[in-house]
Structure 1
Amino acid sequence: MAPDLQEHPDGDPVAVPVLPVYGPDGTCLTDFGPDPAVAADGAPRTGEQRQVEAIAACPPGPELDAWLRGLDLRALSSTVLVEVIAAQDRVESHQHARKLAMIAELASRDEMSPEWSPLAGAPPIRPAWPGTSWRCGWGGRGSLR
């Protein structure tokens, strides 16, 4: 099997996104191998097109984030830089979604409710939401619910 393929759980090979590596002058050092579009009677794509496709195919997460942090943006072509900006947006959206999931988990806890009734007994722990709001930079007003 080619080094850029991995075995999918159901036995089908799946292409693994390979992010391009650039030299100091902006030259792409990654060999993407033969162009599969040519094998399918398509017109050959340029190296720049293949780089853009590889960047677009990489899912958001730690690998893409680390790759973006290591780029010298001044060395990239404008076409590749546009795709790099789109990749940065994907990473930021992914991180924001994680943060919202964390906030939802925190907000779902009884001790975070400012409407906790003393008639219901003591909350499981001391109410922490005002301090939590300050710590998370939310201004300390309002509740998480």
Structure 2
Amino acid sequence: MKLLTSLSIIAATVALSSPAFAQSASKNVVVSASLTSVCRFATSTDMTIALGTYTAFQGTALSNTGTAAIECTRHTTTPTFSWDATVGLIKGLTFTVASAYAAGSAGTAPDGVTATDLGTPRTGTVTVTANIPAGQAGDGASGAASATKVLTVTF
């Protein structure tokens, strides 16, 4: 009995003096999202192309250009541009509009490590040319006027 009591005291002492072991568990966390790719004009302001003064029946056309920066989701197709109409009238003068796209940077992906590194978009520039052909009579009294055309980017 004395031996049993001694063994019980030794076992209790060992149990109380043993170090505690921390335990842990791991779990995978799956994060998902859906991307809607976009191509957009980098600024929201309208593009204004000033053609200047056209004198009725003048022998030379009036032409000028404007540019707009384009931003797109990286690794999408090359954007294309379309018009609501490529011909219009200002003060009875027929004018035309046309566009040409020049690719810029392909953009950079974020590093995936730093929360503030958001990467950069794919960029490009669209150049719009407006033209009033020569030899037109026009309509109405002298003075300035304008017309609006809608340019749409598709990718």
TM-score (norm 1): 0.22
Larger radius of gyration: 2
Whichever structure has more helix as a proportion of its residues is 1
TM-score (norm 2): 0.21
Whichever structure has more strand as a proportion of its residues is 2
Between 1 and 2, higher relative CO (CA 8 Å, sep ≥ 6) is seen in 2
